[in-house]
């Protein structure tokens, strides 16, 4: 019944490693997003995809690469992890990409700790 799911929920890793976070939505939505919430609780958009097409690509280091194999999945791969990457990463989806019409549904978050 989970609408937007993410795995893993917790990720602890060392600097320099490469890791992936997976996201799936079963709502039939067209648009998916990745957000980062830092220690000060600011939630910032990183990427969005609409029907597998990249729409939003914020100023995010190239070490972050999203991949959308189909419109129900949006994965995030991070290379060469740094201490500053420690945060909670939220996946979200919305029916369409027009902000004015559609609620965004968030996954439970992945708490990434880089040591």
Partner 1 sequence: RKEVEQDPGPFNVPEGATVAFNCTYSNSASQSFFWYRQDCRKEPKLLMSVYSSGNEDGRFTAQLNRASQYISLLIRDSKLSDSATYLCVVDHGSSNTGKLIFGQGTTLQVKP
Q: Footprint of partner 1 on this chain (CB under 8 A)?
A: 31, 33, 40-45, 48, 50, 55-56, 90, 94, 96-100, 102-104, 106-109
Minimum Å distance from CB 41 to partner 1?
Answer: 6
Measured from the CB atom, is 62 or 100 closer to partner 1? 100
DSSP-based three-state secondary structure for 9? coil
Task: Collect all residues with Cβ–Cβ distance below 8 Å to 53 and sequence separation of at least 6.
Answer: none
Measured from the CB atom, is 80 or 113 closer to partner 1? 113
The dihedral through the CA atoms of 44, 111, 87, 51 has a sign that is negative
């Amino acid at each position: 019944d989970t609408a937007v799911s993410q795995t893993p929920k917790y990720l602890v890793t060392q600097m320099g490693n490469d890791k992936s976070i997976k996201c799936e939505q079963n709502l039939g939505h067209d648009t998916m997003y990745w957000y980062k919430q830092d220690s000060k609780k600011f939630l910032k958009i990183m990427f969005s995809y609409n029907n597998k097409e990249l729409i939003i690509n914020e100023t995010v280091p190239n070490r972050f690469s999203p991949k959308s194999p189909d419109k129900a999945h949006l994965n995030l791969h991070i290379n060469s992890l740094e201490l500053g990457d420690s945060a909670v990463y939220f996946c979200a989806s919305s029916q369409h990409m027009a902000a004015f019409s559609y609620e965004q549904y968030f996954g439970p978050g992945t708490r990434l700790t880089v040591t």
